[in-house]
Chains A and B, each alone.
Chain A
Amino acid sequence: MEALDAAFAALADPTRRALLARLAQGEATVMQLAKPFNMTQPAISQHLKVLETAGLIDVRVDGTKRPRRLQKSGVDAMEQWLAMLRTALEKNYDRLDNVLAAMEPQKGRKKR
């Protein structure tokens, strides 16, 4: 439950969503990630730390390099959360469809 919540908070930021979109294409180092964003490496590192804490990405050790990559289960959990919210809303509005279909057309109602 806490992991889902952290994932949603992490994804509320457009830069972090863009970072995830980039990582969806394959792993990348902080330097590679910082390039297209016009941001300093420490700023990017800060965003990556939030994503990592949320369980959305992890770090691979490759000699002296530390490429970031998507952590599949974290991303799946986020999708699950959004799907759940959507499910509740769809349920409501499907019921509303039925309510609307049963309503009498209102004509000549009082005008103010």
Chain B
Amino acid sequence: MSKLTLTTEGDRYIVVTRRFAASPEAVYRAHTEPALIQKWLLGPEGWSMPVCINEARPGGKIRYEWSNGKFGFHLTGEYLELVPYSRIVHVERMFLPDPTPDNHVETTFAPDGGGTLMTMRMTLPDTQTRAAMLSTGMEGGMEASYVRLEAMI
């Protein structure tokens, strides 16, 4: 039913795949152009991204700031490698509020029929980082699930 797959690869990586009904060029642009990123990279319902800096070139900086009106946190990163419309490699860390260890992320966009298969391979966060991420996302995540559940009943 779900188009998304999420698996662990060994004890070091998480691999996520997702298909999109758009060209690799469009999906790539939606990952690198701030005006587009701000429309979808928001996590649970109720969050927005008032600040989005994305310098899509090797060595370019990334800075995303999220807010739900009451709380906020941010992420910084740097691009290591960009192959237009097919591959992005970057590192990022969240500030919760202390910086988490660098997360190394490799994202590829491959033509798939008339659409795109995206594969994202990221570092499995360490124990402490997972705990911090969990405490940040939990309340909102659960809430979004309940809203959807209500809509189904």
Closest Cβ of chain A: how far from B64's Cβ, in Å? 12
How many angstroms from the CA of A49 to the CA of B112 in the assembled complex?
45
Query: Which 6 residue pairs spanning A and B have beta carbons closest together?
Result: A100-B22, A95-B40, A12-B11, A96-B40, A5-B131, A84-B141
- Cβ of B26 and Cβ of A103 under 8 Å apart? yes
Instruction: Give the interface segment out of B67-75, B96-104, B132-140.
Output: B132-140
Instruction: Contacts A89-B16, A96-B30 given; indicate if A103 touches B134 (C-beta within 8 A).
Output: no
User: Using Cβ atoms and an 8 Å threshold, which residues of chain B touch A103?
Assistant: 22, 26, 29-30, 36
Give the A-binding residues of B (Cβ under 8 A). Answer: 2-4, 6, 8, 10-11, 16, 18, 20-23, 25-27, 29-30, 36, 39-45, 124, 127, 130-131, 134-135, 137-138, 141-142, 144-145
Q: Chain A 68-98 against B: per-residue CB contact (8 Å), 1 yes, 0 no?
A: 0000000000000110111111111101111
- Cβ of A92 and Cβ of B42 under 8 Å apart? yes
Give the B-binding residues of A (Cβ under 8 A). Answer: 1-2, 4-6, 8-9, 11-14, 81-82, 84-93, 95-101, 103, 105-106, 109
How many angstroms from the CA of A14 to the CA of B10 in the assembled complex?
7
The DSSP consensus for interface residues of chain A is helix
- Cβ of A82 and Cβ of B6 under 8 Å apart? yes
Instruction: Contacts A12-B8, A99-B36, A100-B20 given; indicate if A87 touches B141 (C-beta within 8 A).
Output: yes
How many angstroms from the CA of A11 to the CA of B14 in the assembled complex?
12
Instruction: Contacts A5-B131, A95-B42, A96-B30 given; indicate if A90 touches B4 (C-beta within 8 A).
Output: yes
User: Using Cβ atoms and an 8 Å threshold, which residues of chain A touch B3?
Assistant: 93
Give which listed residue, B20, B36, B43, B142, contacts A91 with CB less than 8 A.
Answer: B43
User: Using Cβ atoms and an 8 Å threshold, which residues of chain A touch B30?
Assistant: 96, 99-100, 103
Give which listed residue, B16, B23, B137, contacts A84 with CB less than 8 A.
Answer: B137
Closest Cβ of chain A: how far from B108's Cβ, in Å? 15
Closest Cβ of chain A: how far from B42's Cβ, in Å? 7
How many angstroms from the CA of A91 to the CA of B41 in the assembled complex?
9
Given A91-B42, A93-B20, A93-B40, 10 more pairs with CB closer than 8 A: A11-B8, A84-B137, A84-B145, A87-B145, A89-B4, A95-B40, A95-B42, A101-B21, A101-B22, A103-B26
